Amino acid sequence: MKTLSLGEPRLTLGLDRYRRVSHDAHRALHGTLPDLGTDDLITLAGMGGLRGRGGAGFPFARKLRAVQTAAARRQAGTRVVVNAAEGEPGSAKDAMLLTRAPHLVLDGAELAARALGAPQVVVGIADRGTRGSDADPVSESLREAVAERSAVSVVGFRVVRMPHRFVSGQSGALIQGVNGRIPLPPGTPVRASDTGVDGLPTLLSNAETYAQLALLASGGADAYAAVGTADQPGTVLLTVGGDTVVEAPAGTPLVHVLGVCGAPPAQAVLVGGYHGSWLDPPAVARARLSRSRMAEIGGTLGAGIVLPLAEGVCPLGESARVLRYLARESAGQCGPCVRGLPALADAFTALISGEGDPAAAAAAAGIGDGKGACAHPDGTAAFARSALRVFADDASRHALGGSCGRPVRGLLPMPGDRPEPRPRLSVDWSRCDGHGLCAELLPDLIRLDANGYPEDPDLPVPAFQEAEADRAVRMCPALALRVSSP
């Protein structure tokens, strides 16, 4: 994982010297924690204009006040949770912080816990296939950090592993998991500030937010606002291309970030992740790293995910691949997810094969509109609508000619650190007449034997070839092919 800083480093301070910033090195770089009460911390967060960095951008001061108010009303205790589950495949910023600068995150969380009187901080991380072991870098770094702080911290720390799934990063799913339930978003929205961990008022925010809080508390509001914009002081962390984490002042031009990262010319850039928006080149040229400036051009900063899409590939095919992934990753507990998301993926598949049209795909994107049990259908629909809008010319070419002439390469990141069941393409030998069309449509997947029949009657379908496999099934003259779900 590559880490860069544009301008004076803050969150990334010291990373040019240390592989991992120990507690002693952290205190030398950032100082010690101040002692702030709840009201003082709320005031500081408000003066610093601190908002959540997990996607929604909710004002942190209002979260603190909500937890304080709920605890006073119920005469109950409080809990503090760090959301570092990072279900988005294109995001790595929170994992980078916990791996290389963990004490910034833990400082911010402990600061909030002290102010609210919470006895413990819970850190939710993704289970990346090392269950029962601390071998992964995030777990190992957290283990070392907690040990390093044991002599000075007045609160405890607990690490909870979450399944590495897209919806596991949602706040409701994390609360469910911490409470020992299945880590899926609850069927009805519940505010963590009212009822969270152990049923108590809970302050929940993502890892970067707590790190930003630590910076704000150590330097003060004026120093914090020395960079950034009037409505978004400070810096932001971005994950560019899935493998480079960049810290940049809010308001920085997006093209500058892409240039520093060495990104090649792109036909479009996805901002905000797989619930985000595509930007065409003119919009990219105007984009600035702030919520308000992104909104002006139809984009979203979200969790700071930036994915340039290289030229020479089919953008709708790449988008269809993401939609198929999002359909598989749903919580499966409401109609818009269970029926709507697969139908939306099918509509895109039909469009890129020439058997559908943009209007049908747009209609399929009407699955959300607030009808789902969580935000997953709405976010997925927004991504699909963005693709139809930005790639409208490509959609027309597919609808008229069945192809835009460009391949699907699978360039957008998908989970690669855990084995996933794949759809399988199978041949019904009782029907197959050896036409050979399937090998023409899927030359990288199907090989014919000496008699002109497929050599292997059952094959896993790579993610980037799902659309082509569906097309081969529909075009087989003998109806001898089928794709089975994983």
Range of the domain at 454: 424-484
Model confidence band, residue 416 (pLDDT cutoffs 50, 70, 90): low
Residue of 81, 89, 86, 79 lying closest to 54 (CA atoms) = 86
Q: Is residue 230 part of a domain?
A: no
d(CA 223, CA 219): 6
- What's the pLDDT score for residue 79? 97
What CA–CA distance (Å, rounded) separates 223 from 211? Answer: 15
**One domain, residues 64 and 205:** yes
354: left (phi over 0), alpha (psi -120 to 50) or beta: left
Residue that the structure tokens 């092919």 belong to: 481
Structural domain contains residue 414: no
Is the pLDDT at 417 greater than 70? The verdict is no
E-assigned strand segments in 276-422: 277-279, 305-310
Q: What is the pLDDT of residues 22-77, one digit of tens each?
A: 999 999 999 998 999 999 999 999 999 999 998 788 999 999 999 999 999 999 99
Q: How many other CB atoms are there within 10 angstroms of residue 151's CB atom?
A: 7
> Number of folded domains in the chain?
4
The answer to whether 404 and 314 are in contact (CB under 8 A) is yes
Q: How far apart are CA 41 and CA 380, in angstroms?
A: 36
**Three-state SS for 123?**
strand
CA distance 170 to 177: 11
205 and 79 in a common domain = yes
What would the two tokens of residue 243 be? 């493998």
- 253 in a structural domain: yes
In a domain, 406, yes or no: no
What is the rounded average pLDDT of the residues 368-396? Answer: 90
**Same domain for 377 and 353:** yes
Spatial distance between the Cα atoms of 266 and 271, rounded to a whole number of angstroms: 13
Q: 134 in a domain, yes or no?
A: yes
User: Of 224, 247, 278, which one is at a domain's C-terminal end?
Assistant: 224
pLDDT score recorded for residue 131 = 44
Question: Given this model, what pLDDT does residue 278 score?
Answer: 98
Same domain, 261 and 383: no
Boundary-marking domain end, from 224, 258, 293:
224
Task: Give dist(CA 12, CA 439) in Å, integer.
Answer: 50
3-state secondary structure of 79: strand
Neighbours of 425 (CB within 10 A): 27
Distance CA 398, CA 281 (A): 21
Are 39 and 149 found together in one domain?
yes
Residue 407 inside a domain? The answer is: no
Q: Looking at residue 240, what DSSP letter applies? A: E
The H-or-E segment that residue 5 falls in is strand 2-5
End residue of a domain, out of 246, 273, 301: 301
Three-point CA angle 115, 116, 122, nearest 5°: 105
The reply to whether 151 and 216 lie within a common domain is yes
CA distances from 179 to 173, 175, 275, 328, 359 (A): 10, 6, 26, 25, 43
> What CATH number does residue 190 fall under?
3.40.50.11540
Same domain assignment for residues 85 and 205 = yes
Q: Which residues contact 413 (CB under 8 A, 6 or more apart)?
A: 89, 90, 242, 307
Instruction: Please give the mean pLDDT across all residues of the chain.
Output: 91
The pairs formed by 46-49 with CB atoms below 8 angstroms and a separation of 24 or more are: 47/221, 48/216, 48/221, 48/224, 48/225, 48/233, 48/234, 49/225, 49/231, 49/232, 49/233, 49/234
Would you say residue 408 lies in a domain?
A: no
Q: Do 441 and 397 sit in the same domain of this protein? A: no
**Per residue in 82-91, pLDDT tens?**
999 998 999 9
Cα–Cα distance for residue pair 469/475, rounded to 1 Å: 10
The answer on 250 and 196 residing in a single domain is: no
C-alpha to C-alpha distance for 320 and 346, rounded to whole angstroms: 8
Say what angle helices 23-30 and 207-219 make with each other, to 10 degrees: 50
Query: Which CATH number do you get for residue 335?
Result: 1.20.1440.230
Q: In this structure, what CATH number is given to the domain that contains residue 467? A: 3.30.70.20
Q: Are residues 203 and 133 in the same domain?
A: yes
User: What is the distance between the alpha carbons of residues 51 and 303, in angstroms, rounded to a whole number?
Assistant: 12
Residue whose tokens read 């006073």: 72
pLDDT digits (tens, 9 = 90+) for 424-437: 889 988 889 998 99
- pTM equals 0.84
Rounded Cα distance between 470 and 352, Å, is 11
- Report yes or no on 22 lying in a domain: yes
Q: How confident is the model at residue 135 (pLDDT cuts 50, 70, 90)?
A: low
* 131 and 151 within one domain: yes
Do 16 and 153 fall into the same domain? yes
